[in-house]
Structure 1
């Protein structure tokens, strides 16, 4: 049955990547938790969606760090703010987490300032203390960019897992938008399932670094031939919802039967598991026909959307609201 993966924890209810978001996701019944990994200046892997942290912490309120606000280009995107790699772990421990989307999620924003930033080993300890087995789906961020700055993400990740007793743990899955770091982890025998994340458009950063304008696109890596090659190296792919649902009949949301997804069908035929991101109930994130009312923060016909996605046979869904995804899975008629 479809796995429910808590996207950055129960991030629809608490500030993402906070201790309270992770613990609430476990309480709500997630099968696994997805953290994003970025490094500090002293090589500690911290749990933030991006290395630029002005939107998810109170760093702007710390005058002692004002002079470290800067502009960087990360994987072709120019960003201005504060970056984890410019701070030591001791410095980042002084920050508090904040809701990234306070306008959409004021109830979560009410918990701003309650939690501090966590390291990977902190989450591993939370999972080890959970009352039931809960998996880890760790996303390694910007591996090529960080390696160029002196942060070998594969080595840093492997070291933490080794120290925590998680190398080869059956609860472990590792994902990345770059194949190179997944291959590096396989060479290190870190263990776990390896999942290749694919954007709808563009090319992987490691492919661009190696091949420039000749880099294969993510879309080209979803051909039958490319999927077969990926299956020789990896356990699965993870695609965005639009890619997953492309070409499906719009009436599928009202049909209790299976929903045909070309990506799911072809990837499964090649021997790959398929995951998708990200289920969210707010009108802003739903297909137009399923939105209700004029408030972008209001919930639309989320259950119709969630269940139609699950009926494609997708192996796992990333969801901000763990409780709603678990409820939708029950409505489809299964559990993990």
Structure 2
């Protein structure tokens, strides 16, 4: 038995699909993750000009598609302010779904395989849900879906709210039910509240952070809906026992940056970070009735603290032993292998 909230093995959530191997947020990346054994597929959702939901990490299409090389779209490049930050690029909201369908995905991480660039289309949320159903039948198990509303306040402000379209898609695919293998996630509590009025599926508040301070605390920003409402609270206020009790009123789980659980202090000389003592967050969240799904786990050495000695599985073992209920991983195969080893009582020396 694992020390999770319900004693079940922690979920492996394929972050943007099998994004460590294939261009992220493509049907091919999601299928690869499911075949590896991932429990949930995680699409980030943004809206096109005509209100279709597509899977991209950001509304800006520049880094994850071939749009910059397409002369017919050169004039679409512009500057936008999203959640208070100025960005320049090509934005999904300026393209129709038919135009997005002509684009192809590219790998935005230079250290990851580039040979698949230009081969895969940009999927709609409906296409992902249809793929999920096909793979569930083929593999004989229920594969879950874990969509995120990206920048929901910004989308609402430009007349493309995400929540209604998300719920409508779930309903079309028979997934708008509490027992469905679905979590919906957002960095903004207001988006989860809007979803709560429309759907009974489980909800997750994501908890962002910027850096680890020398004292081990996390420098945290604020949910952008809080900024717009003049609410002075920060994400760090939402992971106190009092904050968690409030979150429990509208969410079933939290999705914190993993440094809220095990801080990793950067090396001033530029070397690998060093782990500090685990915090009380998992225990506090479980006491409030909230599951904890931590992000983001990656295999590349630059993401690993020195304590793990270059072994990604060591990071998973630590978090699984602390009782995390799920992990967002770019490398679902690594996460699953570590989970199997722990379940079998096998621990590397």
Mark the runs of 5 or more structure 1 residues left unpaired by the alignment.
249-258, 292-299
Structure 2 counterpart SS, 1:46: strand
Q: Kindly report structure 1 stretches of 4+ aligned residues shifted beyond 4 Å.
A: none
CA contact under 8 A between 1:172 and 1:191: conserved in structure 2?
A: no
- The yes-or-no answer on 1:183 pairing with 2:183 is no
Per-residue CA deviations over 1:186-239 (Å, capped at 9, x if unaligned) read 111x2211100011211001111111xx42100011111111121122101110
Q: How far apart are the structure 1 equivalents of 2:316 and 2:335?
A: 7
Number of residue-to-residue matches in the alignment: 311
CA contact under 8 A between 1:307 and 1:331: conserved in structure 2?
A: no
Q: Aligned ranges for residues 252-271 of structure 1 at < 5 Å?
A: 261-271=279-289
- The yes-or-no answer on 1:2 pairing with 2:10 is yes
CA contact under 8 A between 2:13 and 2:327: conserved in structure 1?
A: yes
- The yes-or-no answer on 1:38 pairing with 2:46 is yes
Structure 2 counterpart SS, 1:129: helix
TM-score, with normalisation over the residues of structure 1?
0.89
Q: Aligned ranges for residues 72-151 of structure 1 at < 5 Å?
A: 72-102=80-110, 104-105=111-112, 107=113, 109-130=114-135, 131=139, 132-151=141-160
Q: How far apart are the structure 1 equivalents of 2:65 and 2:94?
A: 15
Mark the runs of 5 or more structure 2 residues left unpaired by the alignment.
1-8, 210-219, 266-276
- Aligned counterpart, 1:48: 56
- Aligned counterpart, 1:323: 333
CA contact under 8 A between 1:7 and 1:35: conserved in structure 2?
A: yes
Residues 159 and 64 of structure 1, relative CA distance in 2, 3 Å threshold: same
TM-score, with normalisation over the residues of structure 2?
0.86
- The yes-or-no answer on 1:59 pairing with 2:77 is no
RMSD between aligned alpha carbons?
1.7
Q: How far apart are the structure 1 equivalents of 2:87 and 2:180?
A: 37
Residue 146 of structure 1 and its aligned partner are, at CA, apart by 0.7
Residue 301 of structure 1 and its aligned partner are, at CA, apart by 1.5
Structure 2 counterpart SS, 1:219: helix
- The yes-or-no answer on 1:227 pairing with 2:244 is yes
Residue 247 of structure 1 and its aligned partner are, at CA, apart by 8.7
- The yes-or-no answer on 1:284 pairing with 2:294 is no
Structure 2 counterpart SS, 1:111: coil
- The yes-or-no answer on 1:207 pairing with 2:207 is no
Per-residue CA deviations over 1:90-112 (Å, capped at 9, x if unaligned) read 0000000000102x11x2x1111
Return the match for 1:310 from 320, 341, 345.
Answer: 320
